[in-house]
Homo-oligomer: A and B are copies of this chain.
């Protein structure tokens, strides 16, 4: 231990991966558990990341013809009950509102009063309530397609929660669309999956596999569920977004009907698709290291922090002025079509302490300015994708002029690194013995990090899938779109199968 380089986060990934994750969040001040069981508080630095996710996705949704709207937080229990699979999927864990006020009892303690005629649940997802309204809005084929998105909070009463990855309340967007034909609805389902995949790779630098889920992992009430799956640094899969082809199931249970051009009454075909604050969890586990959060420049709330080093009082004013000039010069530069975002950290605190603070927060570029830098017209630059001590002295003007390309280079590097990691931990599996070996920890000290993505043939029989999942805690993450037409013998049964990705997962 004594020889090891000291890291800002304790424990390291290798020492205790789940605890490392919590400590990265704490050190970056992204979020914390609230006093309300299972509900998190998203703190400003974490929320700013979510705002950037929202802004970029929202633009993509609007470019593909969707409009935002807002639907009620509450869903009458009778609505949920209309779709049989759906209710099975969500009734087990939902917040139930039963009363409309509080009244003090004899001891002055507030008790629920004003019992509702019908209990309401807090939406776990909005297919049923939106279906009810779509049924009202859609009369004729002219009203189709109807392309709606909602940014909202939802609640699922999870028993075991983890910040961002699984919380009782979370923030998300849910797209809901209705179409005249199955083909169109399937096209929409696939289009939105591609929107998610492109966003994950090009905005978050998080490579994903797009593919279809097997029946076992399908959304309750869907005919088909597609997902994007990313590999975390413990080699587990994170389902980072889903897009569902709902067939006519919800159209039939909610009565979404339209009069066709031929004057015939038809049920519509619907889809839904969503991503959530879980993406922030994926972001953390894709890029962060043992010194804390690492943010791809495109998603970072700020790109550059300027830290003044003012050892002597007499040079203090000069250093501050130089920093403010630098800030202005950087903000005049453009990155991704907007001004470069710069923080100037003039807190009353040692410069080194500030630098570590920003390293843990994952800011892409640190610029340190001291009296000697000013004399030389230089700045000392640290990149978050390099070691903390690996800093470079650069001419101020050159640094400013190159900032956008530096950020681009870092973004590209992070995506390449994540892709390389995934490739290194993806294995072609051809026998059950290989499968078992791949998913068995080799090192007793590191039970959390092993395995990866097993690319292999599978017959997709539900009973077998269930058995494997129980025996090995490994599930089919998806049938990748890229190899959809491939026929591969099932590793377990030898029967004709599809190529699938098996992995442990969040």
Contact = CB atoms under 8 A, between A and B. Distances in A.
A155 B123 CA distance: 14
Contact of A157 (B40, B47, B73, B101): B101
Contacts of A114: 157
B34 A73 contact: no
A334 to B, nearest CB: 15
A7 to B, nearest CB: 26
Contacts of A50: 70
A129 B97 contact: no
Given A35-B76, A42-B69, A102 B121 contact: yes
A119 B40 CA distance: 18
A101 B94 contact: yes
B34 A71 contact: yes
Nearest to A147: B44
Interface residues of A, number: 61
Interface in A95-109: 95-103
A142 B152 CA distance: 34
Contacts of A80: 102, 110
A77 B110 contact: yes
Nearest to A108: B81
Interface of A: 34-36, 39-44, 47-48, 50-51, 67-77, 79-81, 87, 91-103, 110-112, 114, 119-122, 129, 132-133, 142, 148, 152-153, 155, 157, 169, 171, 348
30 contacts: A34-B129, A35-B79, A35-B129, A36-B75, A36-B120, A39-B73, A39-B74, A40-B72, A41-B69, A44-B68, A44-B69, A47-B67, A48-B67, A50-B70, A73-B122, A73-B153, A74-B95, A81-B110, A91-B101, A91-B103, A93-B100, A93-B101, A95-B97, A95-B99, A96-B102, A97-B97, A97-B122, A98-B99, A101-B157, A153-B153
